[in-house]
């Protein structure tokens, strides 16, 4: 069974600070998606990373795929209250479905 | 373009009852997947339907079933409800399948008393 562990589970920081959340697996995944879920809504796709070592930027968000394709990180610069939400990674382990991580619940304090 | 619509948004049932949840995907999407989200287990895959056929299934008991209609709308049924079935049930649609971009609905919050 492939597992995706996300850390930290909870994170609460002040507006303007930087943060990094992690997604780790013991197995290699073909690709990895990051989603953000806000209260009362379903997850919304932020990015898909496919190539080991790949880095993608989405405004203040930087996503990195580990060289061995077993881990990924999401770095947010100068966090804003609008970044508050549940961040989920989802890995494709080549078994025709996505496996979601446990999630990081992020709260940005104004 | 309308998004994924799930109905109802909230449901309260008692143990032993059954429930049917509905999902209308984005127009043109043929793949519909269902997920169960709980605080303890996170987001877990239930099953995927593509062109009216179940294409993939997660590790849930047979009490959880689904179907897809010719217009791609999908329903999920849970029979003999248990307290542990209380969760947010999310539906996601995609043009090709679960490994492509999935668009999620807002979910149905099911409470079993």
Kindly identify which residue of chain B lies nearest to residue A102, measuring between CA atoms: B42
Strand partners, B111: B12
Tokens encoding B7 = 């109905």
Report the alpha-carbon distance of residue B13 to residue A37 in Å, rounded.
Answer: 26
pLDDT value at position B100?
A: 73
Mutation target among A2, A10, A93, A97 for the B interface, most CBs of B within 10 A: A97
Report the alpha-carbon distance of residue B111 to residue B81 in Å, rounded.
Answer: 10
Q: How far is Cα of residue A59 from the mean position of the Cα atoms in its chain? A: 15
The per-residue b/e assignment along B23-33, b for 16 or more CB within 10 angstroms, e otherwise, is bbbbeebbbbb
Q: Please write the tens of the pLDDT for every residue from B20-48.
A: 999 999 999 999 999 999 988 889 999 99
Q: Which residues of chain B have pLDDT under 70?
A: 1, 97-99
Task: Reduce the DSSP state of residue A81 to 3 states and report it.
Answer: helix
Residue A9 burial class via C-beta count within 10 angstroms: exposed 0-12, middle 13-18, buried 19 and up? exposed
Task: Reduce the DSSP state of residue A29 to 3 states and report it.
Answer: coil
Report the alpha-carbon distance of residue A11 to residue A74 in Å, rounded.
Answer: 13
Tell me the mean pLDDT in the region A41-67: 93
Which residue among B43, B99, B106 places its CB closest to the CB of A40? B106
Q: Please write the tens of the pLDDT for every residue from A5-29.
A: 999 999 999 999 999 999 999 888 8
pLDDT value at position B41?
A: 83
Q: Please write the tens of the pLDDT for every residue from A68-81.
A: 999 999 999 999 99
Chain mean pLDDT for chain A = 92
Which residue among B35, B56, B101 places its CB closest to the CB of A96? B56
On the question of pLDDT at A2 being above 70, the answer is no
pLDDT value at position B98?
A: 63
pLDDT value at position B99?
A: 66
Beta strands in B14-99 (DSSP E): 19-24, 31-38, 42-50, 53-57, 64-68, 74-78, 87-94
| Residues comprising chain A, all counted | 110
Please give the order of strands across the beta sheet that includes B74-78: B5-7, B19-24, B74-78, B64-68
Report the alpha-carbon distance of residue A89 to residue B50 in Å, rounded.
Answer: 24
Cβ within 8 Å, pair A42-B92: yes
């Amino acid at each position: 069974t492939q597992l995706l562990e996300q850390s930290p589970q909870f994170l609460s920081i002040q507006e303007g600070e930087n943060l990094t959340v992690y997604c780790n697996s013991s197995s290699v995944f073909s690709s990895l998606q990051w989603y953000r879920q806000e209260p009362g809504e379903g997850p919304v796709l932020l990015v898909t990373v496919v190539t080991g070592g790949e880095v993608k930027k989405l405004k203040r968000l930087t996503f990195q795929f580990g060289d061995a394709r077993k881990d990924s990180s999401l770095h947010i610069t100068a966090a804003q209250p609008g970044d508050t939400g549940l961040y989920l990674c989802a890995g494709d382990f080549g078994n025709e479905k996505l496996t979601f991580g446990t999630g990081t619940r992020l709260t940005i304090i104004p | 373009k309308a998004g994924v619509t799930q109905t109802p948004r909230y449901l309260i049932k008692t143990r032993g009852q059954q429930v049917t949840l509905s999902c209308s995907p984005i127009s043109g999407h043929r793949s519909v997947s269902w997920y169960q989200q709980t605080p303890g287990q996170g987001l877990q895959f239930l099953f995927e339907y593509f062109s009216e056929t179940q294409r993939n299934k997660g590790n849930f008991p047979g009490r959880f079933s689904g179907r897809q209609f010719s217009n791609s709308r999908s329903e999920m049924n849970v029979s003999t409800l248990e307290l542990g079935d209380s969760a947010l049930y999310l539906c996601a649609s995609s043009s090709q399948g679960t490994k492509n971009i999935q668009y999620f609905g807002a979910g149905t919050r099911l409470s079993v008393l």
